[in-house]
């Protein structure tokens, strides 16, 4: 952090700022500009927590120069991380696909979806049992019953289960059934929830917040990791912009940026990212070309009858076509050397 002093700051003002910094065990370094003096702060910035430097006499502003996230940053951990979800590896060149309905609606619906997901070659079954719906009158999910169906579908197919947890009180229950805990866009800055999943031993799929900056997203991962859980996978799912044609604006540049800033894997969800099933295939292909470690896609045995997100859900036929295309694309990228690995 650097502290920029006012042009008319007195020697006494500067001395007070330096003393405040030294009092919390940090080192201050003065840089003399033509007009202003700048005080550089060196050391563990968490010690600055108790100081209100901006409020001190003679201070114009404080500017952060180092990143506030550490455990999630590539600076701190140059080697890319591979997250192992009970034997399925995310990162390290494997293209992982998580697919299934938006919500678990019934045992029959889920089993039908699970069989199709397995047959098409994906590794994870997705499906919400706790649904964070915009309207309180919309289908809210089957909760623990839905989790039981997911666990049964795992028994039936061998697919891993990824499912959302929306509240602190449900973390223990969801962790009992799921292989991977999903933090949804609406909860990306629910810090108590982030800490709670950080205390479990289950890998976490961290979706990008509805309007989150990359810095906020990386700090959300830091919340989870700082509680002792190193297994975090990012999921870009679009952000809100002024565009209304699509449900969200899928930010594929986030794939390249996150790979540069962090060692953690990142997957892309073109279903929530666009809100339109027709756009899922092109955006899925583009995500893989951009270097994504995997995809999350919604597929429903009968999208027209889906209780949520039907318009963005692939039919079984379309899903299996997308999967075939993805296999060809990733094989081509791999053999041609066009695969994006380091940034
Ligand atoms: C979901 O994946 O079911 C979901 C609700 O997505 P998001 O949190 O990205 O809106
Ligand atoms: Mn959905």
> Is residue 267, in this structure, part of any structural domain at all?
yes
- How far is Cα 203 from Cα 336, in angstroms, rounded to an integer? 32
Identify the segments of the chain with pLDDT beneath 70: 343
> Is residue 69, in this structure, part of any structural domain at all?
no
How confident is the model at residue 327, as a pLDDT? 97
183 lines ligand 1 (CB under 6 A): no
Domains contained in the chain, number = 2
Which atom of ligand 1 sits closest to the CA of residue 269? 9
How confident is the model at residue 341, as a pLDDT? 82
Say whether both 30 and 91 belong to one domain: no
The residue whose CB lies within 8 Å of the most ligand 1 atoms, and thus the one to mutate among 182, 234, 297, is 182
Say whether both 119 and 149 belong to one domain: yes
pTM, to two decimals: 0.88
Say whether both 50 and 88 belong to one domain: no
Say whether both 30 and 163 belong to one domain: no
Say whether both 216 and 270 belong to one domain: yes
160 lines ligand 1 (CB under 6 A): no
Cα–Cα distance list, 109 to 106, 192, 219 (Å): 5, 33, 37
Instruction: Give which of 234, 254, 122 is closest to 185, Cα–Cα.
Output: 234
207 lines ligand 1 (CB under 6 A): yes
270 lines ligand 1 (CB under 6 A): no
Say whether both 142 and 88 belong to one domain: yes
* Token pair 């799929």 in the structure block, residue: 205
Q: Where residue 51 sits, what CATH number does that domain have?
A: 3.30.70.1140
Which atom of ligand 1 sits closest to the CA of residue 237? 9
Going by DSSP bridges, is the β-strand pair 266-268/232-236 parallel, antiparallel, or unpaired? Answer: parallel
How confident is the model at residue 184, as a pLDDT? 98
How confident is the model at residue 343, as a pLDDT? 67
> Is residue 73, in this structure, part of any structural domain at all?
no
Say whether both 141 and 223 belong to one domain: yes
Say whether both 267 and 321 belong to one domain: yes
Q: Helices H, strands E: what count in the chain?
A: 10, 14
- How far is Cα 184 from Cα 164, in angstroms, rounded to an integer? 6
> Is residue 342, in this structure, part of any structural domain at all?
no
> Is residue 277, in this structure, part of any structural domain at all?
yes
Instruction: Give which of 115, 183, 110 is closest to 151, Cα–Cα.
Output: 110
> Is residue 340, in this structure, part of any structural domain at all?
no
The residue whose CB lies within 8 Å of the most ligand 1 atoms, and thus the one to mutate among 98, 99, 100, 102, is 102
> Is residue 74, in this structure, part of any structural domain at all?
no
235 lines ligand 1 (CB under 6 A): no
Say whether both 155 and 38 belong to one domain: no
Provide the residue range defining the domain that includes 23. Answer: 2-63
> How many Å lie between the centroid of ligand 2 and the Cα of residue 10?
58
């Amino acid at each position: 952090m650097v502290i920029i002093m006012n042009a008319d700051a007195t020697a006494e003002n500067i001395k007070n700022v330096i003393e405040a910094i030294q009092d919390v065990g940090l080192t201050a370094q003065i840089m003399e500009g033509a007009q202003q003096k700048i005080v550089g702060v060196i050391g563990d910035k968490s010690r600055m927590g108790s100081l209100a430097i901006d409020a001190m006499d003679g201070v114009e502003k404080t500017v952060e120069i180092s990143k506030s996230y550490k455990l999630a940053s590539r600076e701190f951990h140059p080697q890319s991380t591979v997250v192992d979800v009970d034997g399925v590896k995310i990162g390290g060149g494997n293209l992982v696909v998580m697919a299934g309905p938006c919500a678990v609606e019934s045992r029959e619906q889920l089993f039908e979806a699970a069989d199709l997901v397995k047959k098409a070659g994906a590794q994870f079954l997705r499906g919400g049992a706790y649904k964070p719906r915009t309207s309180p009158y919309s289908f809210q999910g089957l909760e623990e019953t839905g989790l039981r169906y997911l666990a049964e579908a795992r028994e039936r197919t061998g697919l891993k289960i990824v499912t959302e947890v929306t509240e602190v009180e449900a973390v223990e229950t969801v962790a009992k059934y799921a292989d991977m805990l999903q933090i949804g866009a609406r909860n990306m800055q629910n810090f108590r929830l982030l800490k709670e999943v950080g205390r479990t031993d289950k890998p976490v799929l961290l979706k990008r917040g509805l309007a989150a900056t990359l810095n906020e997203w990386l700090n959300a991962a830091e919340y989870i990791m700082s509680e002792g859980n190193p297994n975090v996978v990012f999921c870009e799912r679009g952000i809100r912009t002024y565009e209304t044609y699509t449900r969200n604006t899928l930010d594929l540049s986030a794939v390249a940026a996150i790979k540069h800033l962090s060692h953690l894997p990142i997957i892309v969800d073109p279903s929530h990212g666009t809100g339109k099933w027709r756009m899922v295939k092109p955006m899925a292909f583009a995500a893989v070309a951009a270097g994504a470690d995997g995809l999350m896609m919604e597929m429903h045995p009968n999208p027209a009858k889906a209780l949520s997100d039907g318009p963005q859900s692939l039919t079984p036929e379309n899903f299996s076509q997308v999967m075939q295309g993805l296999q060809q694309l990733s094989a081509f990228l791999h053999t041609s050397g066009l695969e994006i690995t380091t940034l």
